Amino acid sequence: MTSREPFGRSIGLLAVIPAVFLAVFFLWPVTAIVWRGLAPDGSLDLAATLDTATNQRWWKVAWFTTWQALVSTGVTLLAGIAIARIFAKFEFVGRRWLRAGFTVPFVLPTVVVGTAFIALLGSKSPIGLNLRDTVTAVIIAHVFFNVAIVVRTVGDAWARLDPRPEQASRTLGAGPWTTWREITLPRLLPSILASGSIVFLFSFTSFGVVLLLGGPARTTLEVETYIQTTAFLRLDVAAVLAMLQMSIVVLTLVFQRRMRSRPEIGEQQRSEQSIRQPIPSGRHGAAVIATLATAFAFMLTPLLVLVHESLRSGDRYTLANYSALNDGTSVMFVTPLEAIWNSLRFGIAATALAVVIGGLAAVTIAYTSGRAGRTLDLTLMLPLGTSAATLGFGILITLDEPPLDLRTSLWLVPIAHALVGIPFVIRLLVPSIRAVDDRLRKAARVLGASPWKTWVSVDVPLVARSVLAAAGFAFAISLGEFGATAFIARPEHPTLPTAIVRYLSRPGAANFGQAMAMSTILMGVTVCAVLVIERFRIGDTGDF
Amino acid sequence: MPLTTVFSSNRTRLVTLVIWIAIVAGACGSDTNTSSTATEPLPSPSNPKTITLVTHESFALSQDLLAAFTAQTGITVELLTSGDAGTALNQSILSAGNPLGDVIFGIDNTFMSRALDADILDAYDSPLLAEIPDEFKLDETNRLLPVSVGDVCLNYDVGFFADSGVAPPQSLADLTDPALKDLLVVQNPATSSPGLAFLLASIAEFGFDGGYTWKNYWADLRANGVRVSPGWTEAYYGDFTWAGGGDRPIVVSYASSPPAEVFFAEPPPTEAPTAVVEASCFRQQEFVGILTGTTETAAAEMFIDFLLGVEAQNDIPWNMFVFPVNINATPPPEFVEFSLIPANPLSLPSVAIESSREGWIEDWTDIVVR
């Protein structure tokens, strides 16, 4: 494994920046708010804490939170892998657009898609499927929101797999199922586990979906933390919930690491185009088209409901909702262009932070095999599994004095977005860095290249695609304003999701129509952003 | 705006300045900084000030009006928004003494007691309080000054009841009538402010004593098929027959929702498509206060006077869909025409709400959803 460390012992220095970032913007605030909850007067009230911690009610909530997240992850993985295969193996008209389109649900505010879901899966369901107030509806929605993570992560890995082992396996008489189980699956496992762990954490901290579709009787730890902090200001209970939440996250991540403990196979990297084929005719082709059509219908129907609503005013079809977006007199009013601009600025800042800090962490984690790398890896995942209320209120009581009085700084927004984006960068980059064929590095060194030169000319081009994929996610996370920022007081710079939610908090047909118009704009911006990011090329990602 | 100036470089400069002042003040001795507040001249266009208003996402006021205030007084108002009133208040409580801003707007009568107990507000005896009826002055200490008043009420879809021939509800008790089975959607009081207001309305109406309490009422509502939605948006745009694709013609919303349905329609109808059940209304008042620890007390007070003044009060209805509290204010006639001002809205003392909120919501959850 020593040859994995092109920078020698100095590699540890790279980890300092991500470690400090995490300590200042996550560990310190969260520890402080938990401690404030457990020891409001400075001394720990152990009896009260134990009393809360042993309350059966929270354990029931924790159990529901965990099992629904596990089931959601399983279903999302199954659906995601099926779709990823099609995107990786076949070339067809509109492939890029469709693939970018899958990211859209990921960025839409839950409350927006929520009304579409109620229309489709409620008591007036056009498909006769009333799933309101069921766990099934929650799981379906989780698949809808998160399947892009699997499609893109596993799809990218799949597209780069050398197809020859499969071909050899089939030639030697193995059936498609055996080939998949014995040859393909083991090689895809790192990306499956990586995306699976992120989907798990997103489903685990689910808030809006559970509230809306699960019915009032089902709550997650995230929902309970929100109620305890916002409605009751019971920091003691919230602290116990936060610890419970984090313990489950750590246990799951450790378990997940066990599963991938076998080293990643040094996979030859290939360019995608060389292996993608047209959709075949016959039975196989029909199955591919059927899968694609189902996925298409599932993902697009709720989105088309929104677009349709945005074009309606009374009984007419019109662009009135769009043109009305430019009229407003209130101090809270924002034009779509301003909102797009605000969203893009936050997005760029958040993506830059996530890629730089996550990238440094990924390099450290990939090149070191010790405990330090593993700890960094695990700790950087924690923000995904922590309640937004806990982090937001924690920041409020810690980063409150100069030189770090950031409580009302606009920078907090991209920082919070980056905390969610960093795990994506790490999950996508580490397997990709580890998969770089070590013989290439050795060849470079033998030919006289310095460690730095070797890294730039061998590693960087090979992981560039993963960097772009990770940047795409970080950007999408920021565009979608994930929960992380819900509890941060922010100066008036409304983004697209903020503007949408504001329209939706007022009665009147025009307000609803304008919310739908703004949502349609957000969808458009997302597809464009993802397509633009995918067009970037860092270094040469050509064939080897 | 270039990207470099985007993330409040003003603030960075301000912080640097503050640090320098602190260093200089420390070096010169301790008596220099105590006398400065007393002789501080009032804010004016030649002595410009900036204050920060901590508020929730539903705050709104005409841009022109605020710009005129700035031109007149030299006071720039920066907005700092948090998701909802509860979050904004809790954030202010957690940062007591070292406040996020100078003024907080949006604390309502359900959260008032929590704000007063937390000791995060300075008293201000605004001269404009003379123009506000006593019924709205819920805080005798004048730490929370009333700005607006509105009501959370049941709304119903007029067309649905006309078509179905069923009589719309007249009272809270009517909702338990089997004729209205499966027609009501409410918000969860644990996650929604109108949801809490409606729970409080039922508590005010049915009380705790006697043979039939608010708990019996909710057990009956559950038996009659009440649906619970997490928030106003989900209930109104998801479940309500008029505004959404839902199947519930009765929803908990505001007394001002019918005028909004007229105003925000193209073309505006001559009659409101929704109506309010007057006997179901729960009074909601919003307050403004000065956050303890502010260094801009004079500017904060001038802003509060502006907010309580006739111009801003007249501006409030179409922006925040509530009524002004200043007796000299004249709300826009179109707003008044379709609005209903309940004669005897239900209400509960703020102290009782704060001390019992958690217990009531727990009980409600046990009765209605578990």
| Interval A38-52: pLDDT, tens | 998 888 888 888 988
Q: Which of A352-366, A421-435, B47-61 has the lowest mean pLDDT?
A: A421-435
**Residue A123 and residue A132 in contact, taking contact as beta carbons nearer than 8 Å:** yes
d(Cα A370, Cα A432) in Å, to the nearest integer? 19
For residue B255, the distance in angstroms to the closest alpha carbon of chain A comes to 11
Top-tier CATH class for B41-150+285-324: alpha beta
> Which pair of tokens denotes residue A491?
């100066």
Query: Average pLDDT of A409-413?
Result: 91
What pLDDT does residue A44 have? 86
| Mean pLDDT of the residues in chain A | 86
Out of A233, A408, A409, the one facing B90 most closely (by C-beta) is A233
Mutate: best of A408, A482, A498, partner B, most B CBs <10 A: A408
Mutate: best of B92, B227, B233, B368, partner A, most A CBs <10 A: B233
Q: Which residue numbers in chain B have pLDDT < 50?
A: 1-9, 11-37
How many Cα atoms sit within 13 Å of B53 on the Cβ side? 27
> Which pair of tokens denotes residue B367?
């009765």
What pLDDT does residue A418 have? 95
Asked if A511 reaches chain B (Cβ–Cβ under 8 Å), the answer is: yes
Please tell me the CATH superfamily of domain B151-283+343-368, with its number. Periplasmic binding protein-like II (3.40.190.10)
Mention every residue, 6+ apart, whose C-beta is less than 8 A from residue B295: B102
CB contact under 8 A, B6 and A234: no
> Which pair of tokens denotes residue A332?
């809270």
Out of B63, B95, B370, the one facing A407 most closely (by C-beta) is B95
Query: For B207-248, where are the E strands, in sequence order?
Result: 227-229
CB contact under 8 A, B7 and A410: yes
DSSP assignment letter at A268: P
Nearest CA to A477 out of A148, A96, A11, A81 is that of A148
| CA separation, residue B53 to residues A396, B44, B73, B228, B347 (Å) | 17, 18, 16, 34, 28
Task: Output phi, psi for B123, to 5 deg.
Answer: -75, 145
Q: Which pLDDT band, with edges at 50, 70 and 90, does A95 fall under?
A: confident
What pLDDT does residue B18 have? 45
What pLDDT does residue A486 have? 76
Give the pLDDT confidence of A244-274 residue by residue, as tens digits. 999 999 999 888 877 765 555 545 555 554 5
Neighbour count for residue A275 (Cβ, 10 Å): 17
A 327-356: CB under 8 A from B? 329-333, 345, 348-349
For residue A18, the distance in angstroms to the closest alpha carbon of chain B comes to 22
| Peptide linkage before A403 cis (omega within 30 of 0) | yes
Give chain A positions within 8 Å (CB) of B191.
Answer: 211, 223, 226-227, 231
Query: Average pLDDT of A510-537?
Result: 87
Asked if A110 reaches chain B (Cβ–Cβ under 8 Å), the answer is: no
Radius of gyration over every alpha carbon of chain A, rounded to an integer in angstroms? 24
Give the pLDDT confidence of A122-132 residue by residue, as tens digits. 777 878 788 88
* Chain A residue closest in CA terms to B10: A409
CB contact under 8 A, A122 and B60: no
> CATH 3.40.190.10 region(s) of chain B?
41-150+285-324, 151-283+343-368
Query: For B22-109, where are the E strands, in sequence order?
Result: 49-56, 75-82, 103-108
Mention every residue, 6+ apart, whose C-beta is less than 8 A from residue B192: B229, B230, B231, B232
Alpha helices in B321-369 (DSSP H): 333-338, 350-368
Give chain B positions within 8 Å (CB) of A506.
Answer: 260, 264, 321
For residue A525, the distance in angstroms to the closest alpha carbon of chain B comes to 19
What pLDDT does residue A375 have? 87
Is pLDDT above 60 for A348?
A: yes
Q: Which pLDDT band, with edges at 50, 70 and 90, does A445 fall under?
A: confident
Domain map (residue ranges) of chain A: 2-41+57-259+280-535
Residue B156's identity, in one-letter code, is Y
d(Cα A219, Cα A59) in Å, to the nearest integer? 12
* Chain A residue closest in CA terms to B7: A410
What pLDDT does residue A262 have? 53
Out of A119, A320, A403, the one facing B245 most closely (by C-beta) is A119
What pLDDT does residue A489 have? 83
CA A425 to chain centre: 10
Is pLDDT above 80 for A307?
A: yes
Share of chain A above pLDDT 70, in %: 93
What pLDDT does residue A136 have? 94
d(Cα A145, Cα A209) in Å, to the nearest integer? 10
Out of A114, A331, A345, the one facing B3 most closely (by C-beta) is A345
Mutate: best of B234, B247, B252, B338, partner A, most A CBs <10 A: B234
- Give the β-pairing of A490-491 and B75-82: antiparallel
d(Cα B97, Cα B325) in Å, to the nearest integer? 30
Domain A2-41+57-259+280-535, what fold? Answer: MetI-like fold (1.10.3720)
Mutate: best of A230, A317, A337, A482, partner B, most B CBs <10 A: A230
In this prediction, does ipTM exceed 0.85? Answer: yes
SS3 of B45, please?
A: coil
A 40-79: CB under 8 A from B? none
d(Cα B256, Cα A409) in Å, to the nearest integer? 35
